[in-house]
């Protein structure tokens, strides 16, 4: 039995309960029959049955459906989804920028799209050229000495970076024990450090939302293997003391990992090598416009300084004369290289790399510079126009995202969560809520360069109207939201206390 009961949308008075083209869709298991099938399989040959007692006696539990039923089911589910193709998606820290159709066209080129990873390298030279060319772009844009292309996501890239730091410290004779992580860093940073066997020591933020240098100095010692700093940080602020931080860290014999998830705010403008960075991952699925959200593949290539480049993992693409080879073993890598190992099967997320290269080449270096400028301009426009309506905990200007707290909701009976739910009814995906943790009831808005001024103005006016409604005392409006979604507020407590993790047949 499904024990989780949630309020359905407000009734609309239709005979079916459907809302126009938004159809009440049962689970696929509730639709199929045990005997139905969408495939016409031939009768099996008449062969002796050797299964004995192992022969299945009950139904297999898969829904039997015809192909159009399956297509309709998943199409209807997809219609309940929200995406960047459907509208403004200001989810802070996630960089939900538009995914250009050109990327998809390139990715569907048969010579690239139909490749198989087991193909002989001699027949996949074009694909290796793509990986090699993108690697060149990433090193050029960051000014760094090396890059590992295989990490499959941002956090995987962090892992790659910290494993290289550990390998470098071990090569010096002592892996050390501690990774420093400022409070304003991404939540994955401490998780990565812990996974690599380090203990995490937090560095507090100053009142203006940046790393406290005095606290950093106090915590640096011979036990510190490195620091993981998100820059621009999750308050949407550039760590302006970044070079001093790098010098302090290097002075203590430690390495500087910069979380590059927010590289979209500085691409084309800042060469991270100039900041003293030793390793940084780049989220191709954010900065380079490849699709993400909903579990689509990401890619987190990690760039390295001279000091760490030789520890980069296998495999990598090497160009010899006019041919490309895939270096897969330590022996192939050469005497100087000390790869710490391998992070992933094959060579990484090729389809994502292809789309990223398409984006980079379509925009060019000047276009990428304009993209980061427009992203920062859009965020500052939102900050400037909303800071008197909402409450901004830190003085601007900001980078690619604008951070607000819930001070403007004080004594209204409306919370950040209620505000987000009300936004859904207005046709927007809510911003990131309650993150970063350093401010109370955070609302983190990242518009990206995708959006036009018209879109931003409409969103700003919506926020202003909602804030005015909250301040006018109409808290009931917010507590009842969302009204227009296929389901209304979920009972999160019941769902967490009594999770129903799989479907089971209802008793008749």
Q: How far is the CB of 136 from another protein (least distance, A)?
A: 42
Q: How far is the CB of 415 from another protein (least distance, A)?
A: 10
Q: How far is the CB of 416 from another protein (least distance, A)?
A: 11
Q: What secondary structure does DSSP assign to 114-159, as a single string?
A: T--TTS-GGG-HHHHHHHHHHHHHHHHHHT-SEEE----SHHHHHH
CA distance 377 to 400: 8
Figure out which of the listed residues 116, 497, 502, 506 binds another protein, where binding follows CB under 8 A. Answer: 497
- Segment contacting another protein by CB under 8 A, of 345-353, 358-366, 444-452, 488-496: 488-496
Cβ distance 445 to 455 under 8 Å?
no
CB atoms under 10 Å from CB of 269, counted, come to 12
Q: How far is the CB of 5 from another protein (least distance, A)?
A: 17
Q: How far is the CB of 30 from another protein (least distance, A)?
A: 28
Position of tokens 């520890």?
311
Residue 105 region by backbone torsions, left for phi larger than 0, else alpha for psi between -120 and 50, else beta: alpha
Q: Would you count residue 116 as binding another protein (CB under 8 A)?
A: no
Q: Would you count residue 496 as binding another protein (CB under 8 A)?
A: yes
* Beta strands 255-259; 224-230: pairing state: parallel
Q: How far is the CB of 493 from another protein (least distance, A)?
A: 4
User: What is the distance, to the nearest Å, from the Cα of residue 314 to the centroid of all Cα atoms in its chain?
Assistant: 24
Q: What secondary structure does DSSP assign to 355-396, as a single string?
A: HHHHHHHHHHHHHHHHHHHHHHHHHHHHHHHHTTTTB-SS-S
Q: How many residues bind another protein (CB under 8 A)?
A: 5
Figure out which of the listed residues 3, 492, 501, 502 binds another protein, where binding follows CB under 8 A. Answer: 492
Q: How far is the CB of 222 from another protein (least distance, A)?
A: 24
Decide whether 336 or 492 has the Cβ nearer to another protein.
Answer: 492
Q: List the helix and strand counts (H, then E) for the chain.
A: 16, 12
Decide whether 5 or 497 has the Cβ nearer to another protein.
Answer: 497
Q: Would you count residue 39 as binding another protein (CB under 8 A)?
A: no
Q: Would you count residue 434 as binding another protein (CB under 8 A)?
A: yes
Q: How far is the CB of 429 from another protein (least distance, A)?
A: 20
Q: Would you count residue 3 as binding another protein (CB under 8 A)?
A: no
CA distance 129 to 350: 11
Q: How far is the CB of 255 from another protein (least distance, A)?
A: 27
Residues 96-115 that bind another protein (CB under 8 A): none
Position of tokens 């193709």?
85
Closest CA to 302 of 372, 239, 235, 255: 255
Q: How far is the CB of 437 from another protein (least distance, A)?
A: 8
Figure out which of the listed residues 493, 502, 507, 508 binds another protein, where binding follows CB under 8 A. Answer: 493
48-66 burial string, b = 16+ CB within 10 Å, else e?
eeeeeeeeeeeeeeebbbe
* Two structure tokens written together for 52: 């004995």
Run of H or E residues at 308: helix 306-309
- Segment contacting another protein by CB under 8 A, of 87-95, 323-331, 476-484, 491-499: 491-499
CA distance 386 to 494: 36
Decide whether 71 or 490 has the Cβ nearer to another protein.
Answer: 490
Contact map string, positions 215 to 254, toward another protein, x by CB under 8 A = ----------------------------------------
- Segment contacting another protein by CB under 8 A, of 69-77, 93-101, 250-258, 493-501: 493-501
Residues forming contacts to another protein in the complex (CB under 8 A) are 434, 492-493, 496-497
């Amino acid at each position: 039995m499904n024990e989780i009961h949630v309020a359905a949308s407000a009734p609309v008075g239709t005979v079916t309960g459907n809302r126009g083209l938004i159809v009440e869709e049962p689970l696929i298991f509730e639709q199929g029959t045990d005997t139905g099938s969408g495939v016409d399989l031939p009768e099996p040959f008449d062969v002796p049955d050797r299964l004995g007692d192992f022969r299945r006696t009950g139904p297999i539990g898969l829904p039997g459906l015809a192909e159009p039923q399956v297509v309709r089911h998943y199409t209807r589910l997809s219609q309940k989804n929200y995406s960047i193709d459907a509208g403004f998606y200001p989810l802070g820290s996630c960089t939900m920028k538009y995914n250009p159709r050109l990327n998809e066209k390139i990715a569907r080129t048969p010579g690239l799209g139909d490749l198989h990873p087991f193909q002989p390298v001699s027949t996949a030279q074009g694909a290796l050229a793509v990986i090699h060319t993108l690697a060149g772009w990433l090193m050029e844009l960051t000014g760094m000495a090396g890059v590992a292309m295989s990490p499959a996501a941002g956090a995987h890239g962090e892992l790659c970076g910290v494993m290289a730091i550990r390998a470098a410290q071990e090569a010096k004779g002592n892996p050390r024990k501690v990774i420093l992580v400022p409070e304003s860093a991404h939540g994955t940073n401490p998780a990565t450090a812990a996974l690599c066997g380090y203990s995490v020591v937090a560095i507090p933020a100053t009142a203006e939302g940046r790393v406290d240098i005095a606290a950093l100095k106090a915590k640096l010692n011979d036990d510190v293997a490195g620091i993981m700093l998100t820059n621009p940080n999750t308050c949407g602020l550039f760590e302006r003391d970044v070079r001093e931080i790098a010098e302090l860290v290097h002075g203590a014999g430690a390495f500087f990992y910069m979380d590059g998830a927010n590289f979209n705010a500085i691409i084309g403008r800042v060469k991270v090598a100039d900041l003293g960075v030793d390793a940084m991952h780049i989220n191709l699925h954010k900065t380079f416009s490849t699709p993400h959200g909903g579990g689509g593949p990401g890619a987190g290539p990690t760039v390295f300084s001279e000091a760490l480049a030789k520890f980069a993992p296998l495999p990598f693409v090497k160009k010899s004369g006019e041919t490309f080879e895939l270096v897969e073993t330590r022996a192939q890598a050469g005497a100087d290289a000390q790869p710490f190992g391998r992070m992933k099967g094959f060579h990484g997320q090729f389809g994502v790399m292809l789309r990223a290269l398409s984006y980079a080449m379509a925009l060019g270096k000047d276009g990428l510079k304009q993209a980061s400028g427009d992203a920062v301009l859009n965020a500052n426009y939102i900050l400037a126009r909303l800071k008197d309506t909402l409450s901004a905990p830190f003085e601007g200007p900001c980078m690619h995202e604008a951070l607000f707290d819930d001070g403007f909701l004080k004594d209204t009976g409306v919370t950040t969560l209620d505000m987000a739910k009300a936004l859904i009814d207005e046709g927007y995906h809510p911003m990131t809520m309650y993150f970063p943790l350093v401010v109370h009831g955070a609302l983190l808005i990242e518009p990206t360069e995708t959006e036009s001024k018209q879109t931003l103005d409409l969103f700003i006016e919506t926020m202003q109207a909602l804030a005015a409604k909250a301040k006018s005392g109409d808290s009931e409006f917010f507590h009842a939201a969302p009204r227009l979604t296929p389901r209304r507020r979920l009972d999160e407590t019941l769902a967490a206390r009594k999770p129903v993790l799989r479907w089971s047949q209802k008793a008749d």
